[in-house]
Structure 1
Amino acid sequence: MKIEVIGKNGFIPTEAIRKYAEKKLDKVVSMFGDDTVEKIRVVTKVYSDHHKVEVTVIAKGKTIRAEVTEVDMYAAIDKSIDKLVSQIRRYKDKLNSHFEKEGIKNAFSSEFDAESLEKEMFATTLVKNKKIELIPLTADEAIVEMELAGHDFYVFLDKATNKTNVVYRRIDGDYAIIETE
């Protein structure tokens, strides 16, 4: 397992911040197991009035992400770890109560972050280009993956039709699928 603590916006994390983040991440790793977590990336950013911490955990094909803004860097690390732990617990409970497949039950990850629904963004330019690997999934599995990633949509390859589909969360909280022909 690799833990990477980096800084952005001209900020270089001190050794104390690195050790603090690694110590706090032990809690997240213990929830998964040492052999499950492949990589953890902690991005620290400093702005004039706040600090931002983004934590991404990659564990056997599952990705969990938490992003927190706080006045203090250490408080931002603490809250991001708390957010990840909460997401893992909620998701694990959901898997145990909703899915009976043993393979799905063994994958722990984050649940969709409701706070992201409240954020309104109006984009005018393309700022990021992301490449993904299409994985054959059922619609239910795609919804779970979407919630794990913390996004409001997820692109996947339908197992039954072998076509590219998009599942998304509607404003009313329900899910919908866009099927391609």
Structure 2
Amino acid sequence: MKVEITGRRILITPALREYVLKKLRKFTKVFGEDITFHVVVDVEKNRQIAEILLKTKMLNLAGKGETDDMYNSIMAAIEKLERQALKHKGKIIEGKRQRAQAKSVATKLGIGEPTSRSLPPKDSVVREESVQKKPMTVEEATLELTRSDYPFVAFRNSDSGEVNILYRRKDGSLRLIHTH
């Protein structure tokens, strides 16, 4: 924890410095030891002003207190920082809860991210089907393709006896592939 205290039109006494350090130590519980504080105390006529800037790697918080007593002004600024810190901590906790809840729901539904063990090797057959159909004409294959949700139909052409593949192109047209 690094604390820099600046006094404008006021002398920073050891008692004031110790009071500020004591009050700022509680922020190390939330943010750890890697915190930088810049405290500016100022006196203007009847007003005592305290501004505190808290800087961490992830965020910057600022609090300002203005009363007729310097210690009360410092406390007001610290209370504002505490509210901001609690709000930030709540957002972090809520984000973790939502991610954990989404992950558990996805796991229950079986749609979670696949692990490296469950992925098949790149050049392997994932699924194999054996289908026996009666030979059909190109027109019958076209009708079957338009009725189904599949992107292609493989069939034995009744006219030539060859295995043909009829598939739907991206532009919506159909293409026939002859095998020899």
Length-normalised TM-score, structure 2: 0.51
Compare relative contact order (CA 8 Å, sep 6+) and give the higher one, 1 or 2: 1
Shift of 1:79: 1.3
CA RMSD of aligned residues (A): 1.9
Matches of 2:67 and 2:28, distance apart in 1: 23
Instruction: Name the counterpart of 1:6.
Output: 6
Matches of 1:61 and 1:31, distance apart in 2: 13
What is the letter of the counterpart of residue 16 of structure 1? A
Identity of aligned residues (%): 29
- Structure 1 residues not aligned, in runs of 5+: 103-181
Length-normalised TM-score, structure 1: 0.50
Query: Is the alpha carbon distance of 1:51 and 1:101 closer, same or farther for their aligned partners in structure 2, counting shifts above 3 Å?
Result: farther
Indicate if the aligned counterparts of 1:6 and 1:12 stay in contact, CA closer than 8 A: no
What is the letter of the counterpart of residue 49 of structure 2? K
Q: Radius of gyration: which is bigger?
A: 2
- Structure 2 residues not aligned, in runs of 5+: 101-180
1:70 maps to 2:74: no
What is the letter of the counterpart of residue 4 of structure 1? E
Shift of 1:94: 2.1
Instruction: Name the counterpart of 2:19.
Output: 20
Comparing 25-34 and 47-56, the one that deviates more: 25-34
Indicate if the aligned counterparts of 2:40 and 2:51 stay in contact, CA closer than 8 A: yes
Indicate if the aligned counterparts of 1:45 and 1:52 stay in contact, CA closer than 8 A: yes
Matches within 5 A, 1:1-181: 1-8=1-8, 10-34=9-33, 36-37=34-35, 39-98=36-95
List per-residue Cα deviations over 1:89-143 (Å, max 9, x = no partner). 11211232246679xxxxxxxxxxxxxxxxxxxxxxxxxxxxxxxxxxxxxxxxx
